[in-house]
Amino acid sequence: MKYYVLASGSKGNCTVVKSKNTSIMIDCGITQKYLKQSFERIGLQYEDLDGVLITHSHGDHLNNSKIIKDLNVYSPFEIVGLNKNHLIRPIELFTIKDLEILAIPLSHDTDITVGYVIYDGQETLVLVTDTGYLSDRNIKIIRNANYYIIESNHDPEMLLNTTRPKGIKNRILSDYGHLSNEDCGYALVECINEDTKEIVLAHLSEEANTRELAYNTVTDILEKKGIDYQNIKITAAGQFEIYEGGSE
């Protein structure tokens, strides 16, 4: 399984997952120009995607639905203007060619938000962003994956020191907001094992976090909890930087 994080953050999110016979995209919160440029760089054509998964309705994840209107789109809610909108339900397995996919319900300030667990017959990838917390049920579901793309959105102290309105700060810190660096670290303590190969810290706030801080906070927690992460590649994603991971 190969994966490419094309964009990650409040200005846009998009990830591509590729198996031997299947290529899918998760979210489309970027411009058509950037999408085309990114697909050229990774050697794919977005028109040839076998499916597009949507996590939720916020613009940084679904800003350009026109781009995907003729593709097979899998979403937990109806999206106006699409020709092939397949409605999915959380905790119900579905397939796209050789990929088995499970949507898991998350806690965010939309009617419905999901993350995805994707299995290609050999390896498992988990994508979880935009959630205020991870339930015990979700932790059990996402344990022991090979690859994690997981939210490490903010440092609470940095967030409180920003000029954002108090209401926005409270929303981000709430159960319907975003995972902090600490939340991410403690979730990974419960999830990773000897089969885990790579972790991408995703959806970092540009005002209330840094890539170095996210990495250091998460790895400090893993170390304090006695988790051996030396053989795991851990990376903090940039907003508009392509990150390539996985194995051939």
Tens of pLDDT, residues 58-82 = 989 998 788 999 999 999 999 999 9
Determine contact, residues 85/57, Cβ cutoff 8 Å: no
Question: Going from the N-terminus, what domains does the chain have, and what CATH number goes with each?
Answer: 2-246 (3.60.15.10)
Per this entry, what is the length of the chain? Answer: 248
3-state secondary structure of 142: helix
> Which pLDDT score is estimated for 167?
96
Question: Whole-prediction pTM value?
Answer: 0.96
Task: Please tell me the distance from the alpha carbon of residue 75 to that of residue 56, in angstroms, as a whole number.
Answer: 8
Query: What is the dihedral angle through the alpha carbons of 63, 66, 69, 74, rounded to the nearest 10 degrees?
Result: 0
pLDDT at 138: 97
Task: Indicate if the pLDDT at residue 248 is higher than 80.
Answer: no
Which amino acid appears at position 127 of this protein? L
Q: What is the DSSP string of 221-243?
A: HHHHTT---TTSEEEEPPTT--E
What 8-state DSSP symbol labels residue 180? Answer: B
φ/ψ region of 91 (left if φ > 0, alpha if ψ in -120 to 50, else beta) reads left
What pLDDT, on the 0 to 100 scale, is given for residue 41? 96
Band (14; pLDDT cuts 50, 70, 90): very high
For 172, the enclosing helix (H) or strand (E) is helix 166-173
What would the pLDDT profile of 15-24 be if each residue is shown by its tens digit?
999 999 999 9
69-122 pLDDT, tens digit per residue, is 999 999 999 999 999 999 999 999 999 999 999 999 999 999 999 999 999 999
Rg (CA), the chain: 17
Distance CA 193, CA 191 (A): 7
Query: What backbone torsions phi and psi does residue 211 show, to the nearest 5 degrees?
Result: -65, -40
Pairing of strands 85-87, 73-75: parallel
Q: Could you read off the pLDDT of 171-225 as tens digits, one per residue? A: 999 999 999 999 999 999 999 999 999 999 999 999 999 999 999 999 999 999 9
pLDDT for 23-42, tens place per residue?
A: 999 999 999 999 999 999 99
Residue 121 and residue 173: Cα distance in Å, rounded?
Answer: 37
